[in-house]
Amino acid sequence: MSDTRRLEEAIDAFEGQLPALGNFVLPGTTEEGARMHLCRVFSRRLERALVALDTLEAVPAEILAFVNRLSALFYVLARYVNHAQGIGDVLWRPGDTGGGAAARSDG
Domains of the chain: 25-95 (1.20.1200.10)
Would you give the DSSP letter of residue 50? Answer: H
d(CA 33, CA 81): 6
pLDDT per residue as tens digits for the range 48-77: 999 999 999 999 999 999 999 999 999 999
Instruction: Provide the 8-state DSSP code for 89.
Output: P
Given this model, what pLDDT does residue 105 score? Answer: 55
19, 106 in Cβ contact below 8 A? yes
d(CA 62, CA 103): 37
Q: DSSP for 1-14, please give it.
A: --HHHHHHHHHHHH
**pTM value?**
0.84
